[in-house]
Amino acid sequence: MDNSRRNFIKTTALATFGALVLPNSLFAYSETFKSDKKIRVGFIGVGLRGREHVKLLAKRNDVEIIGFADPSKIMLSECQKILKDNGKPAAKEFSNGEYDYRNLLKLNNIDAVVIATPWEWHLSQGVEAMRAKKIVGMEVSGAIMLGVCKSLRRNKSSYLYDGKRMLQKRYYGCSEYGS
């Protein structure tokens, strides 16, 4: 088998696209989810990109937005307005510094988190979210070096894969959240 970087990226892209075209794929890991159940989402980072994700998910009837973690009160306020404009209840806010997202991860009523922070934070936040038993979505890679990607792939028994969850990146050009 060809283990080139190009093959790795192609395989990852195809796997990610496959997961995105199945709207119930977020529920696939657990028998307790029913197709009519809303997925409960928290956001880590609601700056310019994060806010766009909030806009998309706030339009969906099968999603409940539970919380936002971001140090910027201005961005939190704008996201609360998005929820209000879409007839959704206000979300809990975590704005006490760069590490307050950890308190969002402690919430038991969150199934998944969307990470839209600066890329340097993605791997550590994604790992912490998975350790907290959350499904993780991020728009760019958690690993920025090929060696780290290969290490994560080799070490399937690590915290990044527990038989139910695996850190996965999404690609643009695909349907935005199945809408």
Residues in the chain: 179
pLDDT, position 133: 87
pLDDT digits (tens, 9 = 90+) for 51-87: 999 999 999 999 999 999 999 999 999 999 999 999 9
pLDDT, position 119: 80
pLDDT digits (tens, 9 = 90+) for 142-174: 666 777 666 556 544 344 444 555 544 443 444
- CB neighbours (10 Å) of residue 141? 16
**pTM of structure:** 0.69
The domain limits of the chain are: 36-173
pLDDT, position 47: 92
Mean pLDDT of the chain: 75
Domain 36-173 sits in CATH at: 3.40.50.720
Instruction: Give the residues across from 40 on adjacent strands.
Output: 64
Identify the band that residue 17 occupies on the pLDDT scale cut at 50, 70 and 90.
Answer: very low
